[in-house]
């Protein structure tokens, strides 16, 4: 059972999470978990070195969003939290049709997390697994859609 309080409430069991259709089923929150009385977790989307990302429903606005959490090992790390806050500051300055929007940084009983635009579709890792390595012209086309400028070495400068 989840901790009591307004910030974190578990409303369903792990069986529902497994049935959600997500390949990843060992996240820290199961489907149905309510965070900060506002976000209902739908399922785990992915996990990496900088945390876990969940699909969630914003109960106040009735919209699907993504929630990004730092890894548990970094939740009390002041430097990691500062980088997380800086990520929000920088991401809020970026406005491009091919970059997801970051909405807010939320602090709750479950820890700090980003709320961001949920974009439904195939992730890059799945695409590469399915088709193999991208041809150079395809790679350049995908990267150019981000609007990132090229650096003097012919590479791209993300986030600029």
- pLDDT tens across 113-149, in order? 999 999 988 877 787 888 888 787 777 776 666 655 5
- pLDDT tens across 93-118, in order? 888 777 889 999 998 888 889 999 99
What secondary structure does DSSP assign to 6-65, as a single string? SSEE--S-HHHHHTTT-S----SS-TT-EETTTEEEEEEEEEETTEEEEEEEETTTTEEE
Give residue 97's domain range: 8-117
Please report whether residue 56 resides in a domain.
yes
Q: Which residues 6+ apart lie within 8 Å of 122 measured at CB?
A: 130
Indicate whether 78 and 22 sit together in one domain: yes
CA dist., res. 80 & res. 76, Å (int) = 8
**Listed residues 117, 134, 150: the one ending a domain:** 117
Q: Which residues 6+ apart lie within 8 Å of 159 measured at CB?
A: 90, 94, 148
Contacts 24+ apart (CB under 8 A), 15-19: 17/43, 17/44
pLDDT at residue 17 in the model: 35
Please report whether residue 1 resides in a domain.
no
pLDDT at residue 51 in the model: 86
Indicate whether 17 and 75 sit together in one domain: yes
pLDDT, greater one: 4 or 132:
132
- pLDDT tens across 146-157, in order? 655 554 444 444
- pLDDT tens across 31-82, in order? 999 999 999 999 999 888 778 999 999 999 999 999 999 888 888 889 988 9
Indicate whether 113 and 125 sit together in one domain: no
**pLDDT for 159 beyond 60:** no
């Amino acid at each position: 059972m989840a901790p009591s309080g307004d910030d974190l409430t578990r409303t369903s069991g792990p069986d529902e999470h497994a049935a959600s259709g997500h390949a990843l089923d060992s996240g820290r929150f199961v489907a149905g978990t309510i965070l900060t009385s506002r976000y209902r977790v739908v399922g785990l989307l992915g996990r990496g070195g900088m945390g876990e990302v969940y699909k969630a429903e914003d109960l106040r606005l009735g919209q699907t969003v993504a929630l990004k959490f730092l890894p548990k090992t970094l939740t009390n790390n002041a430097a990691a939290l500062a980088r997380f806050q800086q990520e929000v500051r920088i991401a809020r300055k970026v406005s491009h049709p091919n970059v997801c929007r970051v909405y807010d940084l939320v602090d709750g009983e479950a820890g700090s997390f980003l709320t961001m635009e949920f974009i439904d579709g195939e992730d890059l890792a799945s695409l590469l697994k399915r088709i193999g390595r991208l041809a150079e012209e395809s790679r350049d086309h995908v990267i150019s859609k981000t609007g990132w400028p090229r650096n003097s070495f012919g590479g791209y400068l993300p986030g600029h």
